[in-house]
Each structure stands twice: as C-alpha cells, then as structure tokens.
Amino acid sequence: MDEGNQSVMSEFVLLGLCHSWNIQVLLVMIFSVFYLIIVSGNIVIMVLIITDSHLHSPMYFLLANLSFVDMWLSSITIPKMIADFLKESKTISFGGCMSQIFFAHFIAGFEMVLLAVMAYDRYVAICKPLRYSTIMSLRMCIRLVVTSWITGFVHSMSQIVMIVPLPFCGPKEIDSFFCDRPLVIKLACMDTYSLDILMNLDCGVLAVTCFILVLTSYTYILLTVHRSCKSGASKALSTCTAHITVVVLLFGPSIFIYVWPLSITWVNKFLAVFYYVFTPLLNPAIYTLRNKKIQNALKRFRSYYLECKGNR
C-alpha cells in the first residue's frame, strides 16, 4: 500500500438503524422515553437501597451496583443515537469511537462478573444459610465488586490496545448506531482475520466463564431446593427467578454478537438495541415488580415523602 494513500482516520460515519426520516423521528421519541425510564428507574433503586435500612444486605448492595452500571451502559450509546437521528450526517470522532468501545467492554465485563457474584451470593444464601453472614460480609462484598471492576477494566484494555494502533485509511462507514468493535476493526487497512478471532476469543472466555459460574451456582441451588420442603423451595425459586432472567437478557445478546461465528447485520443491530436499551430498561422492572422488599421500601419512601410534604 502506498504511503500516500494512508491517512489518519479523524472520524467514522455511523449508518444508524434506518434511513427513513419519519421512522427516525418516531425512534427519537421512543428512545428518549426509554432512556428517561432507564435513568430514573435505576436511580430510584439505588436511592432506596442506600436510604432504607431494611435493604442493607449483600444482595441489595450488589443490586445497587447492577443498577448503577445499567444506567451507564445505556448512556454509552442512547444519547448519541438519539442525537444522530436528528442529523443528516451521523459522524463520530476517532477518539469518541474508541471511548465507546472502551466503556462498552468495560461495563459489559464488569456486569458479567457481577452477575456471577450475585449468583454466588444466592448460592451461599440458599445452600449455606447458617454461614451466609460470615461468608458474605461487607468486606467480602466490597472485594467482589472491586474484582468485578478490575476484571472489566482489564478486559476492556485488552480490547482497546489492539484496536487503537490499527491503520485506518478508509472506508470509514460503520453499519450500526454505535462503534461496535467487530465492525470497526473490519475498516482497518490490513488483514484482521486473526485479530478478530483473538478478540472474539477474549470476549468469549470472559462471557463463557462467567456463564458457567452462574450456571454452576444455580445448579447447586436447584439441587438444594429439590431436597428441601415445598415452602422453602417456592421462596428460594422466587428469589432466584429475577436473577436468572437478568442473566439470560445479558448473556444471550453478548454471546450471539461476540462469540457466534455467523454475522447478520440486521440481527446484530436488533441484539445491540436489545442489549443497550431493553436490558437496562427491563432490569429495574424485573427487580421491583417481583421483589416485595423493594416494593415495601418504595411504599415507605413514598409515605415519608408525602409526610414531609404535608408538614411544610
């Protein structure tokens, strides 16, 4: 390749979800409402867990971290996507693109490990109830959360250090609404087949390892529940159903996008929207609609707010 044809890529062009102006205006309204619900819903859960003493337990400490990371997961892509719907030219700077990739993998890696930690918490609570307070102490919870953050950071850095040095000299169009890592490296002016496999392997090892840990925890839980009385089994399964649902919502799209060998553009776009929009949107609903303690905390908070308002 001639040196004269090589240039530093200053920006990428995002092709988005569709090209119809009417549909894009409709999507602006829909995703704006969704983003408002995501942010407000997860903030409400965090505030309830922090302020309500009834929720000061390891499970809800981990849930608060999940709500925090869900809020930032959606913030990586949705605001940019909404703004681009109203623009004719949908561009993103090279630095902005690399930032999206970094934070997307950082938060995804953290969330995967955190869900494995939450599954372990439920395993200890149901299979070793007498030792629960000893094993899942505050210090242990903080260590597990810090480990999750470190794992996410290391995973993200392992991705970004291989992308930034790549020579990008055109074309610069990304057929998505954000800088999706597999699509970005295809734009490099070199053969990236081996690199693509290496980076997919990196994602796959993390995703599959966390999924196996989650699966192992819930297998032990189900075996313990099967041997216990019916009332205990019902309560235990009710506690774990929300966690299992969230695990499926997170790992399903991630495995198909980054591990599945076949790549179909419209399927990947749908899964990306599901992952970055609907998963953070559904998580607060799953935990609030099925969790009596969260519902009771919400009622206490509402009563306290109305009482304070009435005293003014």
Continuous segment of H or E residues that includes residue 232: helix 230-258
Could you write out the three-class secondary structure of the chain?
Answer: CCHHHCCCCCEEEECCCCCCHHHHHHHHHHHHHHHHHHHHHHHHHHHHHHHCHHHCCHHHHHHHHHHHHHHHHHHHHHHHHHHHHCCCCCEEEHHHHHHHHHHHHHHHHHHHHHHHHHHHHHHHHHHCHHHHHHHCCHHHHHHHHHHHHHHHHHHHHHHHHHHCCCCECCCCEECCCCCCHHHHHCCECCCCHHHHHHHHHHHHHHHHHHHHHHHHHHHHHHHHHHHCCHHHHHHHHHHHHHHHHHHHHHHHHHHHHHCCCCCCHHHHHHHHHHHHHHHHHHHHHHHHHHCHHHHHHHHHHHHHHHHHHHCC
Residue 7 pLDDT exceeds 60: no
Q: Tell how far CA 290 is from the center of its chain.
A: 20
Query: What digits encode the pLDDT tens for the residues 177-206?
Result: 899 888 898 888 888 888 888 888 888 888
Query: What digits encode the pLDDT tens for the residues 27-56?
Result: 999 999 999 999 998 998 999 999 888 889
Cα dihedral 246, 247, 252, 254 in deg (nearest 10): 100
Torsion angles phi and psi, residue 173, rounded to 5: -90, 130
Continuous segment of H or E residues that includes residue 135: helix 132-135
Query: What digits encode the pLDDT tens for the residues 150-168?
Result: 999 999 999 999 999 888 8
Residue 79: pLDDT band with limits 50, 70, 90:
very high
Over pLDDT 90: what percentage of the chain? 35
Beta strands 11-14 and 173-174, pairing class: parallel
The residue with tokens 């970005």 is 184
- Rounded to an integer, what distance in angstroms lies between the CA atom of residue 211 and that of residue 225? 21
Q: Cα dist. 200→158, 256, 286 in Å? A: 11, 11, 30
Paired tokens of 88: 């004719």
Handedness of CA 185, 190, 194, 198 (dihedral sign): negative
Q: What is the pLDDT of residue 294?
A: 84
Query: What digits encode the pLDDT tens for the residues 269-297?
Result: 888 888 888 888 887 777 776 678 888 88
What does pLDDT average to over the chain? 84
Mind listing the domains of the chain with CATH numbers?
15-310 (1.20.1070.10)
Provide the 10 A C-beta neighbour count for residue 240. Answer: 22
Residue 260: pLDDT band with limits 50, 70, 90:
low
Paired tokens of 217: 């925890």
